Amino acid sequence: MKLKVYSILIFCVTLWASNFIIGAVLVNYWSALHVTVYRLLCICIFLGIIGFPIIRKARIRPKQWSLLSIAAILGVSVNHFSFFKSLETTSPITAAYILALTPIVTGMINRLVRGEKKSWLFWLGSIISFTGVGLIISAKQGATAQFGIGEVFSFCTMLSFAIFLVLLDILRKELDSFSVTFFTSLIGCLALLPFLSFAPIVPKQNAALPMILLLIISAILVHGVSNLVWNANQHKVGSTNAAILLNLEPIITMILSAIILHAIIQSSQIIGGLLVLTGILISVVLSEKIKKPSYP
């Protein structure tokens, strides 16, 4: 039974990893903004169709709408746009490992905002992970520490998602997960529509039907189906074990980049990746296991 659940979860992680490859392909045909809006429209339509009864029953207070709007702009508008914008100039591998820092940065935000105590293992793991990311960035085209615009957008993707996760913890105390997902996606999409007039209309390349289908189907699978399947199965193995599986995402991205994009994997990327994953395991998994309960 557990083997089946793990297989399902790994399939979800593989879909999420493929998003880096798919994104790198799509930005060759449309601007990052157009890709973002088109995919969000697909996601909203899909979620609206399958979850209409849930959405219709949602009762959202004015204060919750304000928080939903902030979460949508940061966690959807900024996050999705910066994700595709980063893939215009940086490699999927670099973007994946920067995004892998999300749980660590989320912990740092919770420390600053909520005053959560963090053990020395958390900070040790954080240093190791950020060192690994620095090594991966330095591998860019064989240069030394080239931190370009693509990496800036990747960090924006990671930071906006980390803040989004903190806001989700607050929203999910009063609203169901499906409604939060739908309304943040819808608001995030609507917030980007006015900016389309500033984006180039002429496609970078003529997009044939396969590319259009890739855009639509990938949006539904990656951000719709996989999220629903993950949420339905992760509790069966425990959140900690499920979180460990998420660390496979940058590794799978590296493998897919080599197979599909014919990317050359450098030794510094492998070493840096191992440092990132080791740091995450130390700061997120080990530090939580030894954390003692605190009393007022």
DSSP per residue, 109-125: HHHHHT-----HHHHHH
Question: Alpha-carbon distance 88 to 110, whole Å?
Answer: 31
From 50-59, 85-94, 164-173, the region with the lowest mean pLDDT:
164-173
Q: Are 9 and 230 in contact (CB under 8 A)?
A: yes
Report the alpha-carbon angle 72-170-248, nearest 5.
70
| Interval 189-212 mean pLDDT | 81
Residue with more model confidence, 235 or 262: 262
Residue 238's pLDDT band (cuts 50, 70, 90): low
Tens of pLDDT, residue by residue over 32-58, are 999 999 999 999 999 999 999 999 888
Indicate the average pLDDT of the chain: 84
| Interval 8-22 mean pLDDT | 92
Which of helix, strand or coil describes residue 9? helix
* Predicted local distance difference test score (pLDDT) of residue 193: 94
Residue 20's pLDDT band (cuts 50, 70, 90): very high
What separation, in Å, do the N-terminal and C-terminal C-alpha atoms of the chain show? 41
* Predicted local distance difference test score (pLDDT) of residue 101: 85
Quick one: how far is CA 180 from the chain centroid? 16
Tokens of 23: 């994104």
| Interval 197-211 mean pLDDT | 74
* Predicted local distance difference test score (pLDDT) of residue 143: 45
Question: Alpha-carbon distance 216 to 191, whole Å?
Answer: 20
Residue 204's pLDDT band (cuts 50, 70, 90): low
From 28-37, 167-176, 230-239, the region with the lowest mean pLDDT:
230-239
Best CA proximity match to 284, nearest among 151, 113, 102: 102
Which of helix, strand or coil describes residue 202? coil
The answer, yes or no, to whether residue 246 has pLDDT greater than 80, is no
Sequence-distant (6+) residues with CB within 8 A of 215 are 26, 30, 35, 38, 39, 42
The answer, yes or no, to whether residue 144 has pLDDT greater than 90, is no
Question: Alpha-carbon distance 24 to 3, whole Å?
Answer: 32
Residue with more model confidence, 24 or 199: 24
Q: Taking the model in full, what pTM does it have?
A: 0.84
The answer, yes or no, to whether residue 240 has pLDDT greater than 70, is no
Highest mean pLDDT among 111-115, 134-138, 188-192, 292-296: 188-192
The answer, yes or no, to whether residue 162 has pLDDT greater than 70, is yes
